[in-house]
């Protein structure tokens, strides 16, 4: 039996515990406690935005030292719900960021959107291992994020399924030996839809992902294929890969998650059932492997694996994101902020599905700073704020 002791003693913080990735992370921890003992993978902190009832329920079950709610109006409810448990409580944006600064070995960054940037940077600053599910923070602030990483002893283990797959296929190769990194894309719920059909797509149709059960924002991103655009930018920063070595291929079954092609002609691929508990448990235990409740792959049951090229005309968001990958500087910051606003407006039925790409494109045209390389987090946050204001105004124009 290998000695898993040091891995199982790791103290874990889960930022965004009430979301899709957060819930899967807690299910991985619960499974490990059932298999290896009730004391394994102790939890330092759980954080949520506004879902106080779920946070209370999770805290009672998983026993963190601290539970934090971002929405300060829910603080009294959190304190009342956890009274007598001995679990500390906190509320507000600063408390969420401070939670990332508390002593733990691994911080799962599973907050949605660029709101994860400052908590992630706080975890990096104290040399934690960052299990990075959130992609928006590295898209919005790639150069600043990498500078912070270089200054610290922190390590990032990607949790986004494609990037976790690439991480595993890289095998400590020299970058020169790599010819291509290919991310797969399911194509989302509208893979075979015409533009006319997409024009009338509803939020309920857009969040109905064919293979993955995820939060609403990333599900819409999969439907527009902006998700793959964000992921190519994420891969550029995480793996120091130039745009020329990055690509995406449609694979509707979501079983192959990424492929790395070497100059000798070898292509290594990572396969697993579409179940986020697999990359989550990999990131928590890396570089060891532990038991997980994930669905294991049965290739005979899966049957056929197919691949096709993405259609950049129907999936305009992907084309726009590829432009930002090439352009660099703060164009990804603006792209991400505008997309977050546009997706939110779409989910609230203020704009149509095809308007999402139009809003992002108009914001990129109007927002200053796209050609400036960010030096500091404040510059990123300023541009992010400006882009959101512009995107909201563009949404308003399209609405009315
Ligand atoms: N879901 C998936 O399978 C995958 C997700 N990812 C990435 O992981 C991240 C999380 O995705 P997902 O779990 O689907 O998202 P969800 O929307 O399901 O969950 C988001 C979590 O973040 C919290 N949150 C939202 N906004 C804030 C904020 N401003 N401050 C603090 N906390 C906040 C939410 O709290 P509350 O519940 O209280 O609102 C919730 O706990 C995203 O960046 C996504 O792209 C990557 C790969 C796969
Ligand atoms: C599970 C995960 O990592 C998501 O990012 C997923 O890849 C979304 O599916 P698409 O391939 O449809 O974007
Ligand atoms: Mn992904």
Q: φ, ψ for residue 209 (rounded to 5)?
A: -65, 140
Residue nearest to ligand 1 atom 19, measured at CA: 19
Q: In whole angstroms, what is the distance from residue 307 CA to residue 280 CA?
A: 26
Burial grade of 349 (CB within 10 A; 0-12, 13-18, 19 or more): exposed
Task: Give me the residues paired with residue 43 across strands.
Answer: 12
DSSP H/E element including 15: strand 12-15
Q: What residues have CB less than 8 Å from 382, skipping those under 6 apart?
A: 369
- CB 353 within 8 Å of CB 395: no
Cα 247 to middle of ligand 2, angstroms: 15
The answer, as to whether pTM is greater than 0.95, is: yes
String of DSSP letters for 103-154: S-SEEEE---SGGGHHHHHHHHHTT-EEEE---HHHHHHHHHHHHHHHHS--
For residue 225, give the nearest of 312, 160, 318 by alpha carbon.
318
Q: How far is CA 296 from the centre of its chain?
A: 22
Is residue 375 marked as binding? no
Residue nearest to ligand 1 atom 15, measured at CA: 215
For residue 148, give the nearest of 171, 119, 170, 173 by alpha carbon.
119
Residue nearest to ligand 2 atom 11, measured at CA: 185
Q: Work out the angle between the directed axes of helices 93-101 and 117-125 (0-180°, nearest 10).
A: 30
pLDDT digit string (tens) for the chain, length 400 residues: 568 889 999 999 999 999 999 999 999 999 999 999 999 999 999 999 999 999 999 999 999 999 999 999 999 999 999 999 999 999 999 999 999 999 999 999 999 999 999 999 999 999 999 999 999 999 999 999 999 999 999 999 999 999 999 999 998 889 899 999 999 999 999 999 999 999 999 999 999 999 999 999 999 999 999 999 999 999 999 999 999 999 999 999 999 999 999 999 999 999 999 999 999 999 999 999 999 999 999 999 999 999 999 999 999 999 999 999 999 999 999 999 999 999 999 999 999 999 999 999 999 999 999 999 999 999 999 999 999 999 999 999 998 6
Ligand 1 within 6 A of CB of 340: no
Q: What is the pLDDT of residue 165?
A: 98
Cα 216 to middle of ligand 1, angstroms: 9
Cα 161 to middle of ligand 3, angstroms: 5
Ligand 2 within 6 A of CB of 276: yes
Q: What is the pLDDT of residue 399?
A: 84
Cis omega (within 30 of 0) on the bond before 287?
A: yes
- For residue 64, give both structure tokens: 């963190």
Q: In whole angstroms, what is the distance from residue 109 CA to residue 143 CA?
A: 18
- CB 320 within 8 Å of CB 229: yes
Q: Work out the angle between the directed axes of helices 331-347 and 316-327 (0-180°, nearest 10).
A: 160
Q: What is the pLDDT of residue 77?
A: 98
Q: In whole angstroms, what is the distance from residue 136 CA to residue 141 CA?
A: 8
- CB 99 within 8 Å of CB 126: no
- CB 55 within 8 Å of CB 33: no
Superfamily classification of domain 5-159: NAD(P)-binding Rossmann-like Domain (3.40.50.720)
Q: What residues have CB less than 8 Å from 34, skipping those under 6 apart?
A: none
Q: What is the pLDDT of residue 1?
A: 57
Q: What is the pLDDT of residue 3?
A: 85
State whether residue 267 is helix, strand or coil.
strand
String of DSSP letters for 204-228: HHHT--SS----HHHHHHHHHTHHH
| Residues measured by CB to lie within 5 Å of ligand 3, the ion | 160-162
Q: What is the pLDDT of residue 53?
A: 99
For residue 220, give the nearest of 193, 199, 202, 196 by alpha carbon.
202
| Model-level ipTM above the cut of 0.90 | yes
Pocket test for ligand 1, best of 64, 70, 215, 233 (most atoms within 8 A of CB): 215
Question: Number of C-alpha atoms within 13 angstroms, CB side, residue 312?
Answer: 10
Q: What is the pLDDT of residue 173?
A: 87
Specify the pairing of strand 155-158 against strand 246-250: unpaired
């Amino acid at each position: 039996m290998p000695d898993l002791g040091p891995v199982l003693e790791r103290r874990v913080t889960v930022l965004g515990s009430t979301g899709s990735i957060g819930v899967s992370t807690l299910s991985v921890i619960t499974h490990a406690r059932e298999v290896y003992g009730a004391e394994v993978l102790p939890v330092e902190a759980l954080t949520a935005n506004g879902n106080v009832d779920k946070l209370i329920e999770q805290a009672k079950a998983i026993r963190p030292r601290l539970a934090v709610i971002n929405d300060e109006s829910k603080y009294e409810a959190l304190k009342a719900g956890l009274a007598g448990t001995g679990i500390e409580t906190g509320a507000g944006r600063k408390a969420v960021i401070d939670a990332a600064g508390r002593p733990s070995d691994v911080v799962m960054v599973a907050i949605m959107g660029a709101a994860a940037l400052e908590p992630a940077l706080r975890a990096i600053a104290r040399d934690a291992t960052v299990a990075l599910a959130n992609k928006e923070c590295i898209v919005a602030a790639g150069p600043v994020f990498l500078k912070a990483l270089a200054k610290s002893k922190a390590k990032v283990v990607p949790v986004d399924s494609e990037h976790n797959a690439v991480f595993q296929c890289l095998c400590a190769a020299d970058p020169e030996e790599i010819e291509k990194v290919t991310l797969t894309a399911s194509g989302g719920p509208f893979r075979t839809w015409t533009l006319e059909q997409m024009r009338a797509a509803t939020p309920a149709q857009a969040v109905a992902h064919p293979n993955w059960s995820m939060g609403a924002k990333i599900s819409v991103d999969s439907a527009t294929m902006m998700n793959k655009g964000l992921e190519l930018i994420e891969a550029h920063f995480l793996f120091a890969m130039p745009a020329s070595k990055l690509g995406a291929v449609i694979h509707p079954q979501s079983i192959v998650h990424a492929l790395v092609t070497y100059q000798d002609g070898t292509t290594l691929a990572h396969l697993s059932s579409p179940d986020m508990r697999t990359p989550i448990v990999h990131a928590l235990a890396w570089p060891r492997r532990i038991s997980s409740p994930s669905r294991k792959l049965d290739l005979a049951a899966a049957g056929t694996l197919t691949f096709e090229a993405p259609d950049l005309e129907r999936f305009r968001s992907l084309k726009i994101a590829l432009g930002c990958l090439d352009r660099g500087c703060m164009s990804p910051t603006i792209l991400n902020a505008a997309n977050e606003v546009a997706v939110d407006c779409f989910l609230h039925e203020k704009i149509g599905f095809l308007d999402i790409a139009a809003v992002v494109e108009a914001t990129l045209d109007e927002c200053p700073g796209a050609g400036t390389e960010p030096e500091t987090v404040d510059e990123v946050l300023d541009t992010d704020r400006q882009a959101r204001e512009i995107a909201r105004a563009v949404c308003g124009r399209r609405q009315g």
